[in-house]
Amino acid sequence: MKPWVRLAMAIAAIAGLAKHWLRRRQEPSYWQLVFEQSRVNGASYNGDNLDPNPWNWPTGTWLQRRIGKERL
């Protein structure tokens, strides 16, 4: 392979990495979105007004029966 072709491929690879890095810096991360939507940052929060319905895990599922057989 000619040196100039190898150089062009290296430059293209570096440009692709730079483009990816710049794009990632512009998009907020998952945790940034979570904290932006938190009550501390002034976002609305209705968790205190949720209906306190008790919830029970399902019983007698296939996985629970399977685990029970493995323990025997």
Do the domain assignments include residue 47? no
Do the domain assignments include residue 11? yes
Q: Which domain holds residue 24?
A: 1-41
pTM over 0.75: no
Q: Amino acid identity, residue 23?
A: R
Number of folded domains in the chain?
1
Q: What's the CA gap between 26 and 69, in Å, rounded?
A: 51
Q: Amino acid identity, residue 32?
A: Q
Q: Quote the pLDDT of residue 22.
A: 75
Q: What's the CA gap between 31 and 52, in Å, rounded?
A: 27
**7-35 pLDDT per residue, tens:** 888 888 888 888 887 776 777 888 888 88
